[in-house]
Amino acid sequence: MIRKLLIANRGEIALRILRACRELEIAAVVVHSTADADSMAVRLADESVCIGPPPPRQSYLDARQILAAAEITGADAIHPGYGFLAENAAFARMVEEHGFVFVGPRPEHIELMGDKVRAKETMRRLGVPVVPGSDGPVQTPEEAVRVARDIGYPVLVKAVAGGGGRGMKVVHDEGELVAAMELARREAEAGFGDPRVYLEKFLERPRHIEIQVLGDRHGEVVHLFERDCSIQRRHQKVVEEAPSPVLDDEARREIGERVVAAMAELGYLGAGTVEFLWKDGEFFFIEMNTRIQVEHPVTEMVTGVDLVREQILIAAGEPLSVDQGEVRLSGHAIEFRITAEDPDTFVPRPGRITHWHPPGGPGVRVDSHAFAGYTVPPFYDSLIAKLIVHDADRGRALRRAARSLAEFVVDGIPSTIPLLRAIVEHEAMRAAAVDTGWLERSMEELRPRR
Ligand code: ADP
Ligand 1 pocket test: pick from 115, 227, 235 the residue with the most ligand atoms within 8 Å of its Cβ: 235
More confident residue, 166 or 266: 266
pLDDT over 70 at 364, yes or no: yes
Ligand 1 pocket test: pick from 169, 285, 286, 291 the residue with the most ligand atoms within 8 Å of its Cβ: 286
Residue 425 is part of a domain; what is its CATH number?
3.30.470.20
Does residue 93 lie in a domain region?
no
Rounded Cα distance between 28 and 7, Å, is 7
* Single residue among 68, 86, 104 that ends a domain in this structure: 86
Does residue 270 lie in a domain region?
yes
- State if residue 203 touches ligand 1 by the CB under 6 angstroms criterion: yes
- What pLDDT, on the 0 to 100 scale, is given for residue 449? 62
- What pLDDT, on the 0 to 100 scale, is given for residue 222? 98
- What pLDDT, on the 0 to 100 scale, is given for residue 114? 94
- State if residue 239 touches ligand 1 by the CB under 6 angstroms criterion: no
- What pLDDT, on the 0 to 100 scale, is given for residue 450? 59
- What pLDDT, on the 0 to 100 scale, is given for residue 48? 98
Whether residue 374 is found in the same domain as residue 300:
yes
Confidence of residue 162 (pLDDT cuts 50, 70, 90): confident
Does residue 115 lie in a domain region?
no
Percent of the chain with pLDDT over 70: 99
Rounded Cα distance between 34 and 173, Å, is 49
Residue 181 is part of a domain; what is its CATH number?
3.30.1490.20
Whether residue 194 is found in the same domain as residue 233:
no
Is 258:127 a contact under the CB 8 Å cutoff?
yes
Whether residue 418 is found in the same domain as residue 295:
yes
pLDDT in tens, 326-348: 999 999 999 999 999 998 889 99
Q: Is 252 a catalytic residue?
A: no
Residue 81 is part of a domain; what is its CATH number?
3.40.50.20
In 3D, which of 365, 430, 433, 431 has the Cα closest to residue 15?
365
Whether residue 220 is found in the same domain as residue 184:
no
Whether residue 304 is found in the same domain as residue 357:
yes
- State if residue 232 touches ligand 1 by the CB under 6 angstroms criterion: yes
Rounded Cα distance between 98 and 88, Å, is 16
Ligand 1 pocket test: pick from 234, 277, 289, 441 the residue with the most ligand atoms within 8 Å of its Cβ: 277
> What's the Cα-to-Cα distance from 75 to each of 59, 124, 316, 317, 382, rounded to whole Å?
18, 39, 13, 17, 29
The set of residues, in sequence order, having a beta carbon less than 8 Å from that of 210 and lying 6+ positions away, is 226, 227, 229, 273, 274, 275, 276
Whether residue 67 is found in the same domain as residue 144:
no
- What pLDDT, on the 0 to 100 scale, is given for residue 135? 86
- State if residue 200 touches ligand 1 by the CB under 6 angstroms criterion: yes
pLDDT in tens, 49-65: 999 999 999 999 999 99
Catalytic position from the list 106, 252, 291, 337: 291
If you average pLDDT over every residue of the chain, what do you get? Answer: 96
Does residue 95 lie in a domain region?
no
What is the whole-number distance in angstroms between the Cα of residue 365 and the centre of ligand 1? 28
What is the whole-number distance in angstroms between the Cα of residue 113 and the centre of ligand 1? 15
Whether residue 11 is found in the same domain as residue 66:
yes
In 3D, which of 196, 245, 184, 253 has the Cα closest to residue 225?
253
Does residue 122 lie in a domain region?
no
Average confidence (pLDDT) over 397-411? 98
Ligand 1 pocket test: pick from 237, 436, 438, 441 the residue with the most ligand atoms within 8 Å of its Cβ: 436
pLDDT in tens, 217-260: 999 999 999 999 999 998 999 999 999 999 999 999 999 999 99
Q: Which of 176-180, 228-232, 351-355 has the lowest mean pLDDT?
A: 176-180
Rounded Cα distance between 84 and 68, Å, is 17
What is the whole-number distance in angstroms between the Cα of residue 153 and the centre of ligand 1? 16
Whether residue 339 is found in the same domain as residue 276:
yes
- State if residue 293 touches ligand 1 by the CB under 6 angstroms criterion: no
pLDDT over 90 at 165, yes or no: no
- State if residue 74 touches ligand 1 by the CB under 6 angstroms criterion: no
Does residue 373 lie in a domain region?
yes
pLDDT over 80 at 164, yes or no: no
* Single residue among 148, 177, 201 that ends a domain in this structure: 201
For ligand 1, atom 15, which residue shows the shortest CA distance? 235
For ligand 1, atom 11, which residue shows the shortest CA distance? 235
Does residue 290 lie in a domain region?
yes
Whether residue 148 is found in the same domain as residue 276:
no
pLDDT in tens, 78-117: 999 999 999 999 999 999 999 999 999 999 999 999 999 9
Whether residue 250 is found in the same domain as residue 394:
yes
pLDDT over 90 at 174, yes or no: yes
- pTM (2 decimals)? 0.96
- State if residue 286 touches ligand 1 by the CB under 6 angstroms criterion: yes
Q: Is 196 left (phi over 0), alpha (psi -120 to 50) or beta?
A: beta
The set of residues, in sequence order, having a beta carbon less than 8 Å from that of 108 and lying 6+ positions away, is 89
For ligand 1, atom 12, which residue shows the shortest CA distance? 235
What is the whole-number distance in angstroms between the Cα of residue 97 and the centre of ligand 1? 34
Percent of the chain with pLDDT over 90: 95
- State if residue 287 touches ligand 1 by the CB under 6 angstroms criterion: yes
What is the whole-number distance in angstroms between the Cα of residue 114 and the centre of ligand 1? 14
What is the whole-number distance in angstroms between the Cα of residue 286 and the centre of ligand 1? 7
What is the whole-number distance in angstroms between the Cα of residue 32 and the centre of ligand 1? 31
Does residue 112 lie in a domain region?
no
**Three-state DSSP string of 211-238:** EEEEECCCCCEEEEEEEEEEEEECCEEE
Q: How many domains does the structure of the chain reveal?
A: 3
Rounded Cα distance between 131 and 47, Å, is 46
pLDDT over 90 at 28, yes or no: yes
pLDDT over 90 at 447, yes or no: no
What is the whole-number distance in angstroms between the Cα of residue 25 and the centre of ligand 1? 39
pLDDT over 80 at 167, yes or no: no
- Residue by residue, DSSP assigns 146-212 as HHHHHH-SSEEEEEEEEETTEEEEEE-SHHHHHHHHHHHHHHHHHHHS---EEEEE--SSPEEEEEE
- Residue by residue, DSSP assigns 52-108 as E-SSGGGTTT-HHHHHHHHHHHT-SEEE--SSTTTT-HHHHHHHHHTTPEESSS-HH
Whether residue 276 is found in the same domain as residue 394:
yes
* Single residue among 182, 201, 220 that ends a domain in this structure: 201
- State if residue 277 touches ligand 1 by the CB under 6 angstroms criterion: yes
For ligand 1, atom 23, which residue shows the shortest CA distance? 202
- Look at residue 46 and give its three-state secondary structure: coil
Whether residue 252 is found in the same domain as residue 340:
yes
- State if residue 131 touches ligand 1 by the CB under 6 angstroms criterion: yes
Write out the residue range of the structural domain in which residue 138 sits: 132-201
